[in-house]
Amino acid sequence: MRLHHTGRPASDAEWQAFVARGATGLVWAVASTGIHCRDGCPARPCLRANLRVFDSRAQAEAAGFRACRRCGGG
């Protein structure tokens, strides 16, 4: 079951923190790939339109996202 359209879009401040790989404690999910990442993931940043924000790993996984292989997930 694919539920990759949940989570919330990133605010301007959240997006800026994401691309700067700042420490936010948020979970970054990518709707186009179905993975979730932690702050500072070494993978190339996704398009903003594909980014979904979750407050916890459990929420991202409940929405159908899987942990990123590069960073271990959010």
Q: What count of Cα atoms within 13 Å lies in the side-chain half-sphere of residue 73?
A: 16
* 51 forms part of the interface with Zn ion (CB under 5 A): no
| DSSP 8-state class, residue 71 | T
With CB atoms as reference, the residue minimizing the distance to Zn ion is 68
Among 10, 29, 37, 60, binds Zn ion (CB under 5 A): 37
* 71 forms part of the interface with Zn ion (CB under 5 A): yes
Among 41, 51, 53, 63, binds Zn ion (CB under 5 A): 41
User: What is the C-alpha to C-alpha distance for residues 29 and 10, in angstroms, rounded to an integer?
Assistant: 10
Given a contact cutoff of 8 angstroms between Cβ atoms, the answer to whether 38 and 28 are in contact is yes
Query: In the complex, which residues of this chain contact Zn ion (CB under 5 A)?
Result: 37, 41, 43, 68, 70-71
